Amino acid sequence: MILEKPGVPLQLLEKPDPIPGQGEVQVRVSACGVCRTDLHVVDGDLPDPKLPIIPGHEIVGTVSALGEGVDHFELGERIGIPWLGRTCGSCFYCRSGLENLCDEPGFTGYQIDGGYADVTVADARFCFPLSGDYSDAELAPLLCAGLIGYRSLSMVGNNSGRVGIYGFGAAAHIVTQLARYQDREVYAFTRPGDRAAQEFALDTGAIWAGDSDRAPPNELDAAIIFAPVGPLVPAALRAVRKGGVVVCGGIHMSDIPSFPYRILWGERVIRSVANLTRQDAKDFLELAPRVPIRTRIEEFPLEKANMALDALRTGNLTGAAVLIP
Ligand SMILES: [Zn+2]
Ligand SMILES: [Zn+2]
């Protein structure tokens, strides 16, 4: 399923299987999650995608061919391909353990063809072995929603026992389980009146769920915003205590309205989380089965990718959409 240009639906195309080059693996895709970032690529919110592009960066599949020089995977092995598709390896960030901020990165499903396909190729150094008793479809959302959620939660600090989450979708339902495992309380904020999402949050382990225009019953230590809605930043600042942090976990957000300095005063912090490092992936994928994190998924056939994207756009999903070729 290919994007010819932003703003138009994906097209189903038959193409020859891509051949793995030096250092690459060819992967037969068995499941690919649908992430909000895919929606931002398809809708043209993000600048300069490779065009045409095959979206998708929560890819689970089996190795079907090895390029020259790849010796750490075997044919038939189950692996995952995430958003971080390549880095330069030599810039300041790559040398400082911050490869997520690389100056010359390549992202899967944005600059590199991704997983809305039967077969894809990827740089083997950025793929991960996937073991455990998860099904392929259950694993897919861990590869971005899970990883970004994990990185976002790690930014709230150890003293943050009460964590607000704004926007309760794929990432939030994973973070909530992780936060509970770490003995934190989760306060879930949804679109006003979205009872289905609030029920979902409570089912997943949130201690409270309510409309995003309401104040929580307790002052929060930190908040994570997954919804791409700028006005949630001042709302979250008003909900967190002095010294609290507001983490913006999405790649794109509508403009943040101006707000009075006093709601930032008191050493409150606003920060974003960008991409992931391979170390995040290693750490999180080891942790997930120990929690154990369970993902709620809704499967769509690959050729229904536009329908899955629409469901995400309109908020008609509970959990994570996963495409099955
Ligand atoms: Zn770099
Ligand atoms: Zn993503």
| Gyration radius from the chain CA atoms | 19
Domain ranges of the chain: 24-143+276-324, 147-272
Look at residue 3 in the predicted model and tell me its pLDDT. Answer: 98
Cβ-contact 112, 106 below 8 angstroms: yes
CA of 58 to the centre of ligand 2 (A): 7
CA of 224 to the centre of ligand 2 (A): 16
Whole-number Å distance between alpha carbons of 15 and 324: 18
Q: Does the structural domain 24-143+276-324 have CATH classification 3.40.50.300? A: no
Look at residue 319 in the predicted model and tell me its pLDDT. Answer: 85
Determine the average pLDDT of the residues in 30-46. Answer: 96
Confidence of residue 315 (pLDDT cuts 50, 70, 90): confident
Condensed to tens digits (0 to 9), the pLDDT of residues 133-190 reads 999 999 999 999 999 999 999 999 989 999 999 999 999 999 999 999 999 999 999 9
Determine the average pLDDT of the residues in 86-100. Answer: 97
Look at residue 318 in the predicted model and tell me its pLDDT. Answer: 83
Q: Whose atoms come closest to the Cα of 145: which ligand?
A: 2
Give residue for tokens 């973070």.
175
Q: Whose atoms come closest to the Cα of 142: which ligand?
A: 2
> Does residue 131 register a pLDDT over 90?
no
Q: Over pLDDT 90: what percentage of the chain?
A: 97
CA of 86 to the centre of ligand 1 (A): 9
Q: Whose atoms come closest to the Cα of 92: which ligand?
A: 1
Determine the average pLDDT of the residues in 43-61. Answer: 97
Which has the closest alpha carbon to 220: 210, 132, 305, 20? 210
Determine the average pLDDT of the residues in 259-271. Answer: 98
CATH node for 147-272: 3.40.50.720
> Does residue 73 register a pLDDT over 90?
yes
Whole-number Å distance between alpha carbons of 98 and 224: 21
pTM greater than the 0.75 cutoff: yes
> Does residue 253 register a pLDDT over 90?
yes
CA of 88 to the centre of ligand 1 (A): 4
Look at residue 270 in the predicted model and tell me its pLDDT. Answer: 98
> Does residue 132 register a pLDDT over 90?
no
The crossing angle, in degrees rounded to 10, of helices 145-154 and 170-181 is 50
User: Strand 297-301 and strand 320-324: pairing?
Assistant: parallel
CB atoms < 10 A from the CB of 272, how many?
14
Neighbours of ion ligand 1 (CB under 5 A): 87-88, 91, 94, 102
Cβ-contact 25, 80 below 8 angstroms: no
For residue 256, the 8-state DSSP code is P
Q: Whose atoms come closest to the Cα of 94: which ligand?
A: 1
Whole-number Å distance between alpha carbons of 234 and 268: 11
- Type and span of the H or E element at 215: none
Domains 24-143+276-324 and 147-272 share a fold: no
CA of 91 to the centre of ligand 1 (A): 4
For residue 2, the 8-state DSSP code is B
